[in-house]
């Protein structure tokens, strides 16, 4: 439902709280006047922009987690978890401490309370008071929360305009990498090699190195093996043994039941044999959605990040400026910081999937741009996870 529809279902108490937030001047005893005054005020761009500019970083992260999903309702527990996920523990505001000096215990406690972040329920209550979240109105939905559909679109556009002002756009670089179609071709190459070779597996299910090197050598994109002893976390079944691109390709084949690991032997299944005869017409779409699903655990907001990259990269844009805009919304994952997650886990994988091109500009360094297929895939599917 849209904002006006939800206001119509809200009781006069909630309408009064929303009107107070937006400083509406109207008859507080008339539901109709409250609704009309709220709609008139919220429709003004300056009012909407002001509300967003006053949001703290963790509130922007929480909002960002709600903007690009197709689901329509959230439980209180889900929203509380999202607020907690928006607190990374390393923000400047969260690291502030009372200044040194001759402070009493009471003054230090007061300063600590002043710097204490609001509870998740307080953040959710604030969003309710602004009309950005509404409870269900009857039946089993009364305990579920919704974001007005038209406000989602306004939030996206308002944030996009703010973020774009910080980006650096360039002309086309002299050299760039475009890997459209290579991943799909490599699925067939991998299955063909596995079918015609007895590939033995170690006790943990990963391939012996000699088989792995032979297989990677047949891929359309060469990759270096992970450094021995390097810390790697949460990006696939055998991520600690396989390089990133091949690890994803292997997981995709396993997910589609093209291959099986049985009795320490890797083999092609009947479905894999069918795949050798020809790729599904929507395989690029399937790969994209599986990548989002696979990376959603280590990068909880990967869907929103991909959407923003698509919105910002219709023209060539520098990775440095993208990082400045998006890094505050990327939560570090073990030893992967925001920079390595954006560049290595997201942008590089988007290139492997054919969603973006990555180039080197003589004046601005690394630059990226969405491909036509990438634009169509991201925009057409609305980032719906399967």
pLDDT at site 106: 52
pTM: 0.89
136 and 87 in a common domain: yes
152 and 51 in a common domain: yes
Whether residue 103 has pLDDT greater than 60: no
Whether residue 198 has pLDDT greater than 80: yes
pLDDT at site 112: 47
Give the pair of three-digit tokens for residue 345. 């886990």
278 in any annotated domain: no
186 in any annotated domain: no
d(CA 195, CA 267): 6
Three-state DSSP class for residue 151: helix
Give the pair of three-digit tokens for residue 124. 């959710």
Domain span at residue 224 reads 195-273
82 and 203 in a common domain: no
Q: For strand 317-318 and strand 365-370, is the pairing parallel, antiparallel, or unpaired?
A: antiparallel
73 and 136 in a common domain: yes
Q: How many CA atoms lie within 13 A of 230 on its CB side?
A: 12
150 and 21 in a common domain: yes
Whether residue 101 has pLDDT greater than 80: no
Give the pair of three-digit tokens for residue 207. 């391939």
184 in any annotated domain: no
Which of 141-145, 235-239, 251-255 tops mean pLDDT?
251-255
d(CA 59, CA 53): 11
Last-in-domain residue among 206, 240, 273: 273
pLDDT at site 110: 46
């Amino acid at each position: 439902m849209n904002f006006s529809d939800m206001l119509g279902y809200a009781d006069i108490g909630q309408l009064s709280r929303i009107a107070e937030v937006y400083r509406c001047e109207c008859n507080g005893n008339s539901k109709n006047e409250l609704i009309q005054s709220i709609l008139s005020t919220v429709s003004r761009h300056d009012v909407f922009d002001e509300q967003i500019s006053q949001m703290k970083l963790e509130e922007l992260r929480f909002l960002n987690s709600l903007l690009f999903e197709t689901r329509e309702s959230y439980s209180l527990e889900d929203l509380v978890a999202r607020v907690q996920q928006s607190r990374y523990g390393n923000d400047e505001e969260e690291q502030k401490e009372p200044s040194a000096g001759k402070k009493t215990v009471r003054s230090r406690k007061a300063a600590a309370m002043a710097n204490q972040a609001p509870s998740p329920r307080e953040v959710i209550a604030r969003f309710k008071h602004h009309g950005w979240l509404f409870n269900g109105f009857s039946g089993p939905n009364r305990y579920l929360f919704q974001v007005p559909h038209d406000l989602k679109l306004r939030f996206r556009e308002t944030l996009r305009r703010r973020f774009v002002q910080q980006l650096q756009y360039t002309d086309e670089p002299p050299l760039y990498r475009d890997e459209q179609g290579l991943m799909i071709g490599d699925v067939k190459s991998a299955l063909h090699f596995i079918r015609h070779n007895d590939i033995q597996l170690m006790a943990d299910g990963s391939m012996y190195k000699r088989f792995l090197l032979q297989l990677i050598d047949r891929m359309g994109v060469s990759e270096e093996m992970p450094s021995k002893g390097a810390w790697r976390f949460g990006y696939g079944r055998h991520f600690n043994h396989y390089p990133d691109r091949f690890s994803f390709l292997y997981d995709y084949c396993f997910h589609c039941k093209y291959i099986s690991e049985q009795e320490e032997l890797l083999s092609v299944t009947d479905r894999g044999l069918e795949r050798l005869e020809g790729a599904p017409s929507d395989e690029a779409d399937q790969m994209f959605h599986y990548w989002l699903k696979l990376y959603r655990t280590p990068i909880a907001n990967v869907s929103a990040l991909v959407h923003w990259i698509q919105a910002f990269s219709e023209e060539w844009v520098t990775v440095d400026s993208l990082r400045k805009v998006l890094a505050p919304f990327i939560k570090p994952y073990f030893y992967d910081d925001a920079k390595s997650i954006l560049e290595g886990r997201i942008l590089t994988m988007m290139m492997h999937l054919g969603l973006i091109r990555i180039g080197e500009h003589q004046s601005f360094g690394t630059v990226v741009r969405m491909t036509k297929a990438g634009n169509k895939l991201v925009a057409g599917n609305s980032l719906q996870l399967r």
